[in-house]
């Protein structure tokens, strides 16, 4: 059994909790998620089953969209409502927040929060943070391709953001709060899309638990649907066996320049590969077999 189930993660459990429950429901050991959602967050969590676990890292590189709400006037050490307040502001939310938001649209650098699972010298940052230790962190390039103010009142704001992988929404919100002078701390977060897949296609855990085994299998989507951000190369059927055996294939036709490609032979998705050479000397090599 290979494929991806789109789960609408509830609040209050970890992404690994979801993996554990899907593993039990599908009677499969090979199960993994494609990008952590914190316990306080809800929304779209693609869960990979079987060979689809091999694509998790590629899906995690895809763009994601969120709707978040933030309260005005405080900053916390975690940049969300679960943390300890360390700063306050009595300043009101600017009547026109667009100039501030515009500053955070596009490509930029973001400093990861101390309360995160990134590692420093083999230990997760939040382990240091819980001991009151702040360690050096490097800013990372991110892209905020869409940032909309959905609603606001005297007490807070609601935002929609589409961002590149590795972007911390709570950090983005904290930075917006500092730039506006009134401080914002995230108190809710919902992921609404991963690539072209949206929350509208997801199922709650309760729904999945109530299904028969056949129904659970019917909601699995093909793994390549979550890889549509990677360009494809289609080869004739007779190249399937050689490619699966590790042989390269000459690419005589024009292709989009990219770091990696989805490989199809005779219409079947067989894996992810790279291209070397140029002009008439281009060679396609399979790096991840998924057939």
Residues assigned a catalytic role: 38
Both tokens assigned to 152: 């606001």
Nearest-CA neighbor of 236 among 268, 189, 260, 259?
A: 268
Both tokens assigned to 248: 């390269």
CB pairs under 8 A, 24+ apart, for 234-242?
Answer: 234/264, 234/265, 234/267, 235/263, 235/264, 235/265, 235/266, 235/284, 236/265, 236/266, 237/265, 237/266, 237/267, 239/265, 240/265, 240/266, 240/268, 240/270, 240/291
> Which residue's structure tokens are 């506006």?
180
Which backbone phi and psi does 2 adopt, to 5 degrees? -135, 135
CB-based contacts of 87, cutoff 8 Å, min separation 6: 74, 75, 183
CB-based contacts of 241, cutoff 8 Å, min separation 6: none
* Residue ranges of E strands in the chain: 3-9, 31-33, 42-49, 64-72, 74-76, 85-88, 106-110, 119-120, 123-124, 140-153, 156-163, 184-194, 197-198, 232-235, 249-250, 261-265, 268-276, 283-289
Q: 247: helix, coil or strand? A: coil
Contact assessment for residue 233 and residue 261, using Cβ atoms and an 8 Å cutoff: yes
């Amino acid at each position: 059994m290979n494929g991806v189930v789109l789960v609408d993660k509830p609040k209050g459990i970890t992404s690994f909790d979801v993996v554990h429950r899907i593993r039990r429901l599908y009677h499969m050991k090979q199960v993994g998620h494609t990008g952590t959602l914190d316990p306080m967050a809800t929304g779209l969590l693609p869960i990979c089953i079987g060979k689809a676990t091999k694509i998790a890292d590629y899906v995690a590189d895809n763009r994601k969209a969120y709707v978040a709400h933030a309260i005005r006037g405080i900053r916390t050490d975690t940049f969300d409502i679960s943390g300890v307040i360390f700063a306050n502001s009595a300043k009101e939310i600017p009547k026109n927040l667009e100039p501030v938001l515009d500053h955070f649209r596009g490509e930029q650098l973001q400093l990861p929060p101390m309360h995160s699972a990134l590692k420093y010298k083999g230990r997760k940052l939040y382990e240091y943070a819980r001991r009151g230790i702040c360690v050096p962190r490097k800013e990372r390039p991110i892209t905020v391709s869409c940032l909309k103010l959905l609603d606001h009142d005297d007490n807070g704001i609601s935002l929609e953001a589409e961002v590149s992988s590795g972007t911390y929404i709570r950090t983005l919100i904290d930075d917006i709060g500092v730039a506006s002078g009134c401080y914002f701390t995230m108190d809710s977060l919902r992921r609404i899309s991963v690539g072209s897949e949206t929350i509208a296609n997801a199922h709650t855990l309760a729904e999945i638990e109530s299904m028969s085994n056949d129904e659970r299998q019917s909601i699995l989507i093909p793994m390549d649907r979550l890889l549509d951000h990677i360009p494809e190369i289609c080869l004739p059927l007779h190249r399937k066996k050689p490619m699966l055996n590790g042989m390269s294939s000459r690419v005589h036709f024009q292709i989009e320049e990219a770091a990696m490609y989805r490989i199809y032979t005779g219409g079947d998705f067989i894996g992810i590969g790279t291209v070397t050479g140029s002009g008439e000397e281009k060679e396609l090599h399979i790096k991840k077999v998924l057939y």
